[in-house]
Structure 1
């Protein structure tokens, strides 16, 4: 079963992309899962972290990025080719030999993270998205471009992780349209959490208006500093903020992830594609973080909790479906 999760926060600099890349690499190289990263953020940070600038520039020049998918709809061109655009075998961890005995499953082949890269030209597309409806004589919605072009491809993966831009415009809505869940990474301070109620309100409205299946998976604390009084107070205030944000949404307040991702230089350095890590532990750091003796343990714990939450949501959904069945009299 494929799980599609959008990562979103209206504030930049909260480690949204860093968290997504960490999780993608852990799911692929530690858990042996098939992962697709869909980069919808014009900053292209996930793209550069996973495939490097040289490879990305070639893809962008050839029109084989997600930006071209939208621009084709806007200009009535046919440059984008999804088969060419999806880059297979990204991440500098692909230079590392897969450990013997890892159970990959019969469908999994060597490159286990694929990427649909982004482009700064998404900014141009974002400004012209409304033109899609008029140019197509209202047969194509500007919110369903990703759905129409890519959703059938998702079944080849265990997880599709979508890096959304820090706004709630049409590009972000395309990601939400195809997602089962959204996840909010945030620093526990007022500026970073300020937009959470707006995210919840907008997505709840879209869910009702367009009959979407998307739900909030949770809020993940990032760049946490145990010695920061601001972070400690922010963490204490988060449950009440989420209670208010979800009030009237028709959904239970999003839970906080138990794992907290710390502020660490090793995490930032891990996003440098040109580094040559010798293994996963080397890439994500052997330094101490709080009660953890090694930083590399944290992405693993995050992946464990991420998978557990998805499994729980599946069990809950099945129970709800069964309770909705009226027994025959």
Structure 2
């Protein structure tokens, strides 16, 4: 079964993209899963981290990024080709020999991350999304471009991870439209959590208006600093913020993830595609934080992520209140 999860926060700099890339690589190279990353953020950070600038520039020049999918709808062109646009076997961890005793999932012959890359031209598309309805004589909704073009491809993967831009515009709504769940990574401080009520309210409204299946699978604390008074106070305040936000939206409150992703220099360095890691542990750091090696945190996150998806189906996990 394919699980589609959007990563969203209205605040930049909360390690949203970094967490998604960590999780994608762990699911593929540690858990042996088939993963598709759909990069909807015009900053293209997930794209560059997974395929490097050289390959990305070639894809962008060839009009084979997700931006072109939207621009084709806006300008009535036909440059985007999904078979060319999906980049197969990304991540610099592909340079590493996979251990022969690694357990792969059913019908998986090798761990794999595929990528539909982003482009800064998504900014242009975002500003023109309303034109899709008028140009198509209202036969195509600006919220359904991804669904119409890509959803059938999702069944080839165990997990589809969508990196949403830090807003709730049409591009983000395209990701939410096809998602089973959304996940909110956040630093435990006021600025980073400020937008959570708006996220919950807007997605709840979209879910009802468009009969979507999406639900919140949880809130993940990122860049956590042990001993920080600000983070301690923020972490203490989060459960009440979530309870109030989901109650006001008429939704069942989402749970905090048990794992807290620490602030670590190795995590930022791991986003550099041009580095040549010798193994997963070296890529994500062998230093210790809170009694764990740094490379253990993405593994713990992947375990909790899988468990939450396995424990219930998309219609019941943290879903709408009756």
TM-score over 0.5 for the alignment?
Answer: yes
Counterparts of 1:305 and 1:111, CA distance in 2: 19
TM-score (norm 2): 0.97
The Cα shift of 1:111 comes to 5.7
Matched residue, 1:75 = 75
1:268-294: CA deviation from partner (whole Å, max 9, x where unpaired): 0000000000000010000011121x1
Q: Is the 8 A contact 1:90 1:111 kept in 2?
A: no
The Cα shift of 1:123 comes to 0.1
Structure 1 SS opposite 2:185: strand
Counterparts of 1:6 and 1:303, CA distance in 2: 15
Q: Is the 8 A contact 2:32 2:110 kept in 1?
A: no
Say if 2:48 is the partner of 1:48: yes
Q: Is the 8 A contact 1:88 1:111 kept in 2?
A: no
Q: Is the 8 A contact 2:28 2:111 kept in 1?
A: no
Q: Is the 8 A contact 1:89 1:110 kept in 2?
A: no
Counterparts of 1:265 and 1:121, CA distance in 2: 30
Matched residue, 2:181 = 181
For residues 317 and 216 of structure 1, do their structure 2 counterparts lie closer, same or farther at Cα, with a shift above 3 Å needed?
A: closer
Matched residue, 1:278 = 278
Matched residue, 1:255 = 255
Counterparts of 1:39 and 1:305, CA distance in 2: 23
The Cα shift of 1:252 comes to 1.1
Matched residue, 1:296 = 295
The Cα shift of 1:104 comes to 1.9
For residues 111 and 100 of structure 1, do their structure 2 counterparts lie closer, same or farther at Cα, with a shift above 3 Å needed?
A: closer
Counterparts of 1:279 and 1:145, CA distance in 2: 38
- Structure 2: unaligned runs, 5 residues or longer: none
Matched residue, 1:126 = 126
Counterparts of 2:99 and 2:28, CA distance in 1: 13
The Cα shift of 1:106 comes to 5.2
How many residue pairs are counted as aligned between the two chains? 318
Counterparts of 2:111 and 2:79, CA distance in 1: 25
1:225-280: CA deviation from partner (whole Å, max 9, x where unpaired): 01210000000000000011001323211100000000000000000000000000
For residues 229 and 106 of structure 1, do their structure 2 counterparts lie closer, same or farther at Cα, with a shift above 3 Å needed?
A: closer
Matched residue, 2:90 = 90
Matched residue, 1:312 = 311
Counterparts of 1:100 and 1:242, CA distance in 2: 44
Counterparts of 2:19 and 2:105, CA distance in 1: 26
- Structure 1: unaligned runs, 5 residues or longer: 321-329
Q: Is the 8 A contact 2:29 2:111 kept in 1?
A: no
- CA root-mean-square deviation: 1.3
Matched residue, 2:234 = 234
Matches within 5 A, 1:110-121: 110=110, 112-121=112-121
Matched residue, 2:21 = 21
Counterparts of 1:176 and 1:314, CA distance in 2: 17
The Cα shift of 1:103 comes to 2.4
Counterparts of 1:315 and 1:93, CA distance in 2: 31
